[in-house]
Structure 1
Amino acid sequence: MTISIGNDHAGPDYKKAIVKHLEEKGFTVINHGTDTFDSVDYPDFGHPVATDVEQGKADFGILICGSGNGVAMAANKHKGIRAALAWTVEISALTRRHNNANILCIPARYTAIPQAVEMVDAFLNTDFEGGRHQNRIDKIPC
C-alpha cells in the first residue's frame, strides 16, 4: 500500500515519526512535506498529497499542519477527495468507517506524536461500512 504524506512547518517531527512507523510496517511512502520549521504555505503540501490520491498514485494520504484545517480545506478542493480532520483515535477511525475518508488531516498543535501515530494506524486499519453511510457520501458532490 502506498501512502502520500505532506506537512507544513508545524509538522516535521510528526511526519518523521509517521513515515518511520509506516515504513517499518512495509508501506511505501511518498513524501511531500517540509523537513524544516521555517514558515511555509500549507497548500503547497496539501495539493500534491491530494493529487496523488486523486490520480491513484497513493491509496491514502496523510496531511499535517498546525490545526489540520488548512490542509483539509486545500485537499478537499480535489475531485474525489474526502480529507477528514481528526484529533483522537476514535474520530480517526470514524472518518474511515462512516465517511470513507481517503486523507487523514492531523492537527500537530493539538495532538502528541504518539497519539498521531495511533490515529494513522486507526485510519489505515478501519474499513468503510457502506450502507446508509454510502447514501450520505453520494450526496457530496465530487
Structure 2
Amino acid sequence: MIGSEDEIHRIVEQVVKRTLGGSQASNASPKPAAPAIQPVTPEAAVPSPSPVKKTVAIGSDHGGVDLKEALKKTLAELGFEVMDVGTNTKDAVDYPDFAAAVARLVASGKAWRGVMIDGAGIGSCMAANKIKGVRAALCYDYATAVNSREHNDANVLTLGAGLIGGNQANLILKTWLATEFGGGRHAGRVNKIMALESSDLKDGK
C-alpha cells in the first residue's frame, strides 16, 4: 500500500537519482523480495543512463514562471539537459505560443520530453495536443503521472502552477520521468490515438 506523499516523494527521488546519477541505496532496511521502486509499479523503470544526456524542453506562461525555474533546477540535478523556451518574465503572454514551442521540440525529436506550465495546465494541454506526434497530459498527482506514462505514453507534461505547490510538482515531474510506457494492450490504444491525427473526421471515420 502506498504511503504518505512525503514517503512517495522520497522513494521516487532516490530511484531517479540512483539510476541517472548513481545515488546510494535507500537507508531503509532492504526487503529481499520487494524492489525499491515499488510505488512506481514493477513494470515501470527510470530512464536509463546514456552517454548523450536526454533533453527536456520546458516552457511556461507568466503564471508559471516561478515553478518553471524551480523545475529547471530539479531537471539539472537529475542530469537532464534543459531547453527553456520561455517566458522568463511576469509580463502577460499567451500560453498557446509556449505550449506549441515545447510540443514542436518534442515532435521534431530535438527534445526527449516536454514540460509546460500555466495557471491550470488545461489550456496548455489542449494547445500542445494540436501538434502532430504529441501526447500531452495534464497531471496533478502521483497516480495521474504514472497513468499518463504507463498507459498513454505521454511525451509532454502540463502542470497548473495555480493548483499545485512546488513539492507536489516535483513529485509529479520525477514520477513522470521515471515511469516507462507499459506497452502491451496499451500500445494498440495509443496507436489508435495517433491514427486520429490522419483520419478524416468530416466523413465520420
Instruction: Give the TM-score range, shorter chain.
Output: over 0.9
Distance 1:67 1:22 in 2: 21
2:189 counterpart residue number: 136
- Amino acid aligned to 1:57: K
Distance 1:10 1:113 in 2: 13
Distance 1:99 1:50 in 2: 16
Distance 1:89 1:45 in 2: 25
Tell me, yes or no, if the aligned pair for 1:8 and 1:64 is still in contact at 8 Å: yes
2:5 counterpart residue number: none
In the TM superposition, 1:52-71 aligns within 5 A as 52-71=105-124
1:85 counterpart residue number: 138
Q: For 1:4, which of 57, 60, 64 is the aligned residue?
A: 57
Tell me, yes or no, if the aligned pair for 1:66 and 1:107 is still in contact at 8 Å: yes
2:159 counterpart residue number: 106
- Amino acid aligned to 1:88: D
Q: CA deviation at 1:33?
A: 2.0
Q: For 2:125, which of 57, 60, 72 is the aligned residue?
A: 72
1:124 counterpart residue number: 177
Tell me, yes or no, if the aligned pair for 1:15 and 1:33 is still in contact at 8 Å: no
Indicate the RMSD between aligned Cα atoms, in angstroms: 0.8
Q: What is the CA deviation profile of residues 61-86 of structure 1, one whole-angstrom value per residue up to 9, with x for unaligned ones?
A: 00101110111111101111000001
**Which protein, 1 or 2, shows the higher relative CO under an 8 Å CA cutoff with sep ≥ 6?**
1
Q: CA deviation at 1:37?
A: 1.8
1:37 counterpart residue number: 90
Distance 1:132 1:25 in 2: 31
- Amino acid aligned to 2:101: P
The SS at the match of 2:130 is coil
Percent identical residues: 46
What TM-score comes out, normalization by structure 1 length?
0.97
- Amino acid aligned to 2:129: N
1:49 counterpart residue number: 102
The SS at the match of 1:139 is helix
Distance 1:54 1:75 in 2: 10
What TM-score comes out, normalization by structure 2 length?
0.68
| Larger-gyration structure (1/2) | 2
More strand by percentage: 1
The SS at the match of 2:132 is coil
